[in-house]
Amino acid sequence: MEVLFMGSDQRAVRCARVSFGKDDKVDPQRDKKLIRYLIKHKHASPFEHNIVAVKGSKDLWLSLLEKAQNPTVQIYYSGGYLWMNLRTAINIMELLPEEVSSCIEERFPTCWAVAKRGGDLEDKELEDLRYTTDRIFLQEKIETSAGWVGLVDRLELGTEMDYYTFIVECPLFVARQWHRHRFGSYNEISRRYTSYDVKFYIPTILRKQAKSNKQASVDEPIEEPDHGRFLREIKDLTGRCYALYEEMTQKGVAKEIARGILPQFMKTRYYWTVPRISLDNFITLRTHEGAQKEIRELAEAIRELAGYRGTDRRNRL
């Protein structure tokens, strides 16, 4: 049976460690303990960034869905493949054909072995497990005025469910728009955990409000001297907010509450794993002239990195 993959044991760890802003760190022994922790405490979303495609019949697909009897199990059928992420595969591990689970075990040896035991492994047993890692951190990266986007990986089989993983860094207000695209998986830096590497997007131009569209802007600055004064005030206020945040955290205020003072210009960073059909929907909607300039530039960068097939055009609504 043909089984194809995107990701590695380490990918799940990276997507978990982005919470701390430490996703570029590699330490297999600590990584394995983190996998055990994630499984034991049911922090399963990082496993969604590992993808499994199984060449198989519609009957196999339907029988797995029927046997799973769990409405949260998400298996898709596209281009003659059953598509699922590692979280789903773990949830239905006892239902998978033996040749499929042995391929999954080969690709994600630590995740699979730890999941099989529900996280109940001693340190020594963990040490003996094989551990798979990513070949590279980022394949390609594009900077925009408000942030950057990098392609981590792709699994392209010419179907609507081909999968892509990106890292995105953007201001909070762009991330809120992005996260409305629900058909995909996200893991994001958590300002409850870390005050590491706080950065802000300071625009260079304060665009005018559009007259024809209540939510849009026109690509020209407001008049001087207000333009210059507002920009100076934005820089000054952002700096003061950050200084107060630092002082509060240094004097013992919990990060989860101190962060409330940080403005929407603050940047966040997340992993986004998305199927082609949803990626194309994102590109259609967010490269459109009606989308906000900052997200439009990032969506154009995504299109440059991963192309656009217009698969979403078959969506009726």
Q: Residues interacting with ligand FAD, by CB under 6 A? A: 180-183, 278, 281, 285, 290-291, 315, 317
> Are 267 and 147 within 8 A, CB to CB?
yes
Residue 165 contacts residue 301 (beta carbons within 8 Å)? no
286 catalytic per annotation:
yes
CB of 91 to ligand FAD, least distance (A): 21
DSSP per-residue string spanning 129-186: S-----S-S-SEEEE-SS-EEEEEEEE-SSSTT-EEEEEEEEEHHHHHHHTT--SSEE
Looking at the Cβ atoms of 125 and 300, the one nearer to ligand FAD is 300
Residue nearer to ligand FAD on the CB measure, 10 or 185: 185
Q: Which residue number, 19 or 278, has a Cβ lying nearer to ligand FAD?
A: 278
Q: How far is the CB of 67 from ligand FAD (least distance, A)?
A: 25
Choose, from 286, 296, 303, 309, the residue flagged as catalytic: 286
- Determine the Cα–Cα distance for residues 300 and 296; give it in Å rounded to an integer: 6
Toward ligand FAD, which CB reaches closer, 81 or 282? Answer: 282
In the complex with ligand FAD, which residue's Cβ is closer, 31 or 312?
A: 312
- Structural Rg of the chain based on CA atoms: 22
Q: How far is the CB of 182 from ligand FAD (least distance, A)?
A: 3
Least distance from ligand FAD to the Cβ atom of residue 154, Å: 18
How far is residue 245's CA from residue 253's CA, in Å, rounded to a whole number?
Answer: 9
Q: How far is the CB of 272 from ligand FAD (least distance, A)?
A: 11
Please, are residues 153 and 136 in contact by the beta-carbon 8 Å criterion?
no
Q: How many residues does the chain have?
A: 317
42 conformational bin, left if phi > 0, alpha if psi -120 to 50, beta if neither: left
- Residue 154's beta-bridge partner residues? 164
* Active site residues per annotation: 286
